[in-house]
Amino acid sequence: MNIRHKEIYIDNALVAVKLPFTKRMQEFHPDGNFPLLDDPIKSKCTSIIGMFILRPARQVWEKPVLREDGSCSVYDVKDWVYNLNSINGGAVIANGNLMDGYRLGMQYAVSDAVIVGSSTVLNDGLPDADGTPGYTWLPYNCTEWSHLKAADSRLMDRFLEQRKLWKDMGYVSDRTYPAQIVVTQSGKETSPDLLTASVFHEHHPDGTPVEAYILTSKSGAENIKTRAGNYGLAERINDMLIVLSPQDDPHKIDLPKLPEILYTKYNIKIANHDGGAMVLRAFCEAGIIAQFNFTFGRRPSLFEVVKSSPVIRDEERHRVLDDFDHLVVKFFNNHDGSIPGNIGIAQIIVDEPDDAAVLVLDTRDVRTF
């Protein structure tokens, strides 16, 4: 299967800047571009982009993405799911969709940072008992996935070329790989401890250490400092901490100030927020998420995916199917799990098999979803 997709809709009035793709990247997305709804160079604030893969629980999105009148049928679909309790992570939701895997790796590659909540790190980012590293939110991990590697074994080379183009334009820093920013407001000890996460201890393929930070409150920073030495982080911890609290509340993170701090102090121009949903919601409530770049699975439904997914053991499969409706975790707060009508669409990209669509959603004035 080839990585092939196309733009079918763009609202130019919502777009601040269209970042171009290289000729090699346009082999996948002819005449494509990457829209930013806020321009970080003009605002001097980091443009934070929300990322998720969603799939309908039981009802497939089978209608044409665009109706004859130009409206999008995505709003008709109910029960958009981002997780299954007891099977954490996006692999089941993604169902091996090639465009979603490509977009994830590409957005990691062309950002200066990836932001993740501590719960996501605890679920996916801790090393296994045998020493196998936990997940890190870095592009070269994605390019090693079997379905992406089969589609293009030199995908990372394309990503690095793309990053250089945007660096030359001034839209990303001279980093080779994005920094990792873990969000924990309380900084409290967990079991296993968050400080064992691989992002704080691993190295890139070139041997350089992963650039990792912890965004936390003043009290959270104190909690972290008291045990950093237990995990070999004593000498680095002060440089790793991004401490940001309102003057009157040392237990909270002052999220509205974050984009300016990331831009001016850390030279982060584009950051992708890769979950979890609760942390993304807090960022949205703070008014600092410019856009969501979400992959919406069109078919099959998540229920059908669970029936056949090779990443689920048969014993677990039967258990999940028996209790499916209680295990699905819907992303949107609407009573029927549909996308709220007040979230506008800036761009729509569809893949060649018509199995998924990437929607760039305008969330600049959205405070809840």
Name residue, tokens 């936390």.
Answer: 216
Nearest-angstrom CA–CA distance, 205 and 18:
31
pLDDT in tens, 83-117: 999 887 789 999 999 999 999 999 999 999 999 99
One DSSP character per residue, 326-359 reads HHEEESS-STT-PPPTTSEEEEEEEETTSSEEEE
pLDDT band with cut points at 50, 70 and 90 for residue 240: very high
Give the pLDDT confidence score for residue 87 in this predicted structure.
Answer: 84
Nearest-angstrom CA–CA distance, 91 and 44:
35
- Our measurement of the distance from residue 91's CA atom to the centroid of its chain's CA atoms, rounded to an integer in Å, reads 13
pLDDT in tens, 247-268: 999 999 999 999 999 999 999 9
Q: Mean pLDDT lowest for which of 17-31, 84-98, 116-130, 231-245?
A: 84-98
Q: Taking 80 as the threshold, does the pLDDT of residue 1 lie above it? A: no
Are 169 and 19 within 8 A, CB to CB?
Answer: yes
Give the pLDDT confidence score for residue 141 in this predicted structure.
Answer: 96
How many helices (H) does the chain have, and how many strands (E)? 14, 14
Higher pLDDT, 274 or 89: 274
Interval 23-47 mean pLDDT? 97
The fold of the 5-62+75-362 domain, in CATH, is: Dihydrofolate Reductase, subunit A (3.40.430)
As a whole number, the mean pLDDT across the chain is 96
Interval 336-360 mean pLDDT? 97
Instruction: Choose among 125, 110, 2: nearest CA to 47.
Output: 110
pTM of the model: 0.97
Give the pLDDT confidence score for residue 275 in this predicted structure.
Answer: 87
Domain residue ranges in the chain: 5-62+75-362
Give the pLDDT confidence score for residue 86 in this predicted structure.
Answer: 82
Nearest-angstrom CA–CA distance, 144 and 121:
20
